[in-house]
Amino acid sequence: MYDALTLFDARLANGSLADLTVADGRILSIVPAGRDGAPGASAGARATAALRDRAVRVDSPAFSEVLRGRTEQPAGIDLQGRLVLPALVNGHAHLDKTFMGARWQPHRVGTTVPARVGAERAIRSTLSESVAERSSALARAMVEFGTGTVRTHVDIDTELGISSLESILELRDALRDVLRMQVVAFPQSGILASPGVDRLLEDALIAGADVIGGLDPAGFDRDAVRHLDIVFGLAAAYGVGVDIHLHELGDSAVRQFRLIAERTRRAGLGGRVVVSHAYGLGSIDLDLARRLGGEFAEAGVAVMTNGPAGPMPPVLAMREEGATVFSGSDNIRDAWWPFGDGDMLGIARQVAYQSNFRTDEELETALDLVTHSAARAIGLPHYGIAEGAFADLVVLDALSPAAAIAGGSADRIVMHGGAFVAAQLRETHLVAPALRGAVAVRP
C-alpha cells in the first residue's frame, strides 16, 4: 500500500501540465509539472524528482498490470500529458428502468406520457431479470465511462410500492466505493392520478431517498397547485430537494415554470430545485425563455436537458441569464428510449450537436453541463480539480476539453476516491494486418 499517489504530467483544462498528488480520497496538492532535482534543490524537490523517475508510464504494460490488480499500486503514475478532468456527473438517470443486463426488448410506441407509462408497466411485468441485476449492469457501464456521481430517479407507484427503491438503495450501498449516488423518489404514474402515491413517496423518503420528484403537475395530474403542494410539502417536511419532470409545451409550461420558481422562493429551497427536460423552454419565444432563465436564476431553479425527444431549452441563452443548466442521460435502453450506453461525454456531444456548438468555448460549455454545472445543480460537494476536492477523476487521451467533446478519447482511465476503478485502453482494440497495411496506425 502507499500513503499518497502522484499523477505526473497531468494536462489541466487550461492546457497547462501539473503534478497532482492524491491521498485519503482527496486531491492533496496541484503543482506545475517539472523536474527539480538539480544541485541546490530542496530535499522535497529532489525526492519528488526521484519519484517521477520511478513513476509507471500510463501507456506501459506495467500500468495495465496495476489496473488489473496484479501488482501493487505505485506511488507515481506518469500520465504523459493526458487530460485530467473531474469525474463526470450524470444529473438525471433511471437505473431502475433499464433493460441493460436483460434480453433485448423491441420498443413499443407511445405518443403520450400516459401511453408510455402503460407500455412500460406491461413490459416490466414480463422481465425475468430483477431491478438489481439490470441497474447494476447500467451502473457499471456508467463507471467505466467515467461517471463518478449519478442522480437516479426511481419509480414509486401503487403497483411497485417502494420495492425498486429498496433495490437501488442496496445498489447505492454496494457501489459506495466506486460511484456516488443520489436517489429521487419519482411518481412515474402521477400523484393525484394514483391515490396513495403521496404516502408511498413519504415512505420512500423515510427509507432513504435523497430527493422528492414530480411529474407534469398540470398535464399528468391535472392540478398543478395540488401536485406542487404535495411535492414541496414533502421537501419541507424531510429537508430534501425537488426534481420535477416537466414535458409540457407552450403557455401551460410557462405557467408551471413560474409556479415552481415561486414555490422555490417561498420554501427557501434556492439551489435545491431542478426542472428536468423543460421542453417548454424550447417551444416559446427566445425572449420569453430568457426572462424565465432570469427568473430561474433569481429563484435558484436549475434546468436539466439531455437533448433528444423534444424541443431543447436554449442552453446558451439560459446560462447568459444566470440560470444553471446541466445534463443527464435520462433513459437508457428501456421502455421509453432504446438508445444509450452510459457515456456522459456522448450526452454532452449530443447536446452540443443539437445546440450547434462549434467553437472551443461552446464545446467547453457542453463539457461543463456534465461536470461543474451538474455538480452544482445536484448539490455535490468537494467537486473539481482543486486541492481538497474528492479525487474522483477521469483521464482522457485528449489535448483539451473541446477535443474531448468533439472527438472522444481512445483511452479513458477512471479514479474514484483516489483509487483506480476502471479503464478503457487503446491496447484492447485490435487492428488486423489488412488495416495496418492500408493506413498508418499509432503504435
Taking only the tens place, the pLDDT of each residue in 61-88 is 999 899 888 888 889 999 999 999 999 9
Q: What is the dihedral of CA 247, 250, 253, 257, to 10 degrees?
A: 130
Strand order in the sheet with 147-155: 88-93, 147-155, 180-186, 211-215, 241-246, 273-277, 301-304, 325-326
- What is the Cα gyration radius of the chain? 23
Q: Which residue has the higher pLDDT, 410 or 93?
A: 93
pLDDT-derived band at 241, boundaries 50, 70, 90: very high
Nearby residues of 86 by Cβ (< 8 Å), 6 or more positions away: 148, 371, 372, 375, 383, 384, 385, 389, 392, 393, 394
Q: What is the mean pLDDT of residues 419-434?
A: 75
Query: Measured in Å, how far apart are the chain's first and last C-alpha atoms?
Result: 32
Query: What's the gap between Cα 416 and its chain centre?
Result: 14
pLDDT-derived band at 442, boundaries 50, 70, 90: low
Q: Look at residue 116 and tell me whether its pLDDT is greater than 80.
A: no
Q: Look at residue 106 and tell me whether its pLDDT is greater than 90.
A: no
CATH number belonging to domain 5-86+385-428? 2.30.40.10
Distances (CA, A) of 62 to 146, 162, 215, 412: 22, 46, 50, 17
Q: What are phi and psi of 428, to 5 degrees?
A: -85, -5
| Number of CB atoms found within 10 A of residue 71's CB | 13
Domain 88-377 has CATH 3.20.20.140: yes
| 91 membership: H or E segment, kind and range | strand 88-93
- The C-alpha atoms of residue 54 and residue 290 are separated, in whole angstroms, by 54
Q: What is the pLDDT of residue 245?
A: 98
Residue with cell 534543490: 41
AA identity, residue 107: H
Q: What is the pLDDT of residue 228?
A: 98
- Domain 5-86+385-428 and domain 88-377, same fold? Reply is no
pLDDT-derived band at 55, boundaries 50, 70, 90: very high
Query: What's the gap between Cα 270 and its chain centre?
Result: 21
- The C-alpha atoms of residue 317 and residue 130 are separated, in whole angstroms, by 42
Q: What is the mean pLDDT of residues 411-437?
A: 80
Q: What is the pLDDT of residue 368?
A: 98
Q: Look at residue 435 and tell me whether its pLDDT is greater than 50.
A: yes
Rounded to 10 deg, the angle between the 360-369 and 344-354 helix axes is 130
DSSP string, 321-332: TT--EE---B--
**Which region among 295-299, 391-395, 396-400 has the lowest average model confidence (pLDDT)?**
396-400
- The C-alpha atoms of residue 197 and residue 413 are separated, in whole angstroms, by 42
Q: What is the mean pLDDT of residues 142-158?
A: 97
**236-274 b/e (C-beta count within 10 Å ≥ 16 → b):** eebebbbbbbbbbbeebbbebbebbbebbbeeebeebbb
| Number of CB atoms found within 10 A of residue 383's CB | 22
Q: Which residue has the higher pLDDT, 26 or 50?
A: 26
pLDDT-derived band at 35, boundaries 50, 70, 90: low
- Burial class of residue 98 (count of CB atoms within 10 Å of its CB; 0-12, 13-18, 19+): buried
Distances (CA, A) of 69 to 73, 74, 191, 327: 8, 11, 48, 34
Domain regions of the chain by residue span: 5-86+385-428, 88-377
Q: What is the mean pLDDT of residues 422-433?
A: 71
Q: What is the pLDDT of residue 206?
A: 98
Q: What is the pLDDT of residue 338?
A: 86
* 163-175: pLDDT as tens digits: 999 999 999 999 9
Q: What is the pLDDT of residue 397?
A: 93
Q: What is the pLDDT of residue 101?
A: 83
pLDDT-derived band at 38, boundaries 50, 70, 90: very low
| 372 membership: H or E segment, kind and range | helix 372-377
Rounded to 10 deg, the angle between the 250-267 and 224-238 helix axes is 30
Torsion 170-176-177-178 (CA) sign: positive
326 neighbors 91 (Cβ within 8 angstroms)? yes
- The C-alpha atoms of residue 169 and residue 175 are separated, in whole angstroms, by 10
Q: Look at residue 272 and tell me whether its pLDDT is greater than 80.
A: yes
Distances (CA, A) of 36 to 21, 41, 176, 230, 313: 16, 7, 38, 62, 50
Q: What are phi and psi of 273, to 5 degrees?
A: -125, 135
**Which region among 9-13, 130-134, 320-324, 344-348 has the lowest average model confidence (pLDDT)?**
130-134
Q: Look at residue 45 and tell me whether its pLDDT is greater than 90.
A: no
Q: What is the pLDDT of residue 259?
A: 98
Distances (CA, A) of 240 to 197, 212, 227, 271, 287: 18, 7, 17, 11, 32
Nearby residues of 299 by Cβ (< 8 Å), 6 or more positions away: 261, 262, 264, 265, 270, 273
* 180-202: pLDDT as tens digits: 999 999 999 999 999 999 999 99
| Number of CB atoms found within 10 A of residue 24's CB | 10
- The C-alpha atoms of residue 195 and residue 332 are separated, in whole angstroms, by 29
Q: Which of 326, 330, 331, 328 has the alpha carbon at shortest distance from 301?
A: 326
pLDDT averaged over the chain? 91
pTM: 0.93
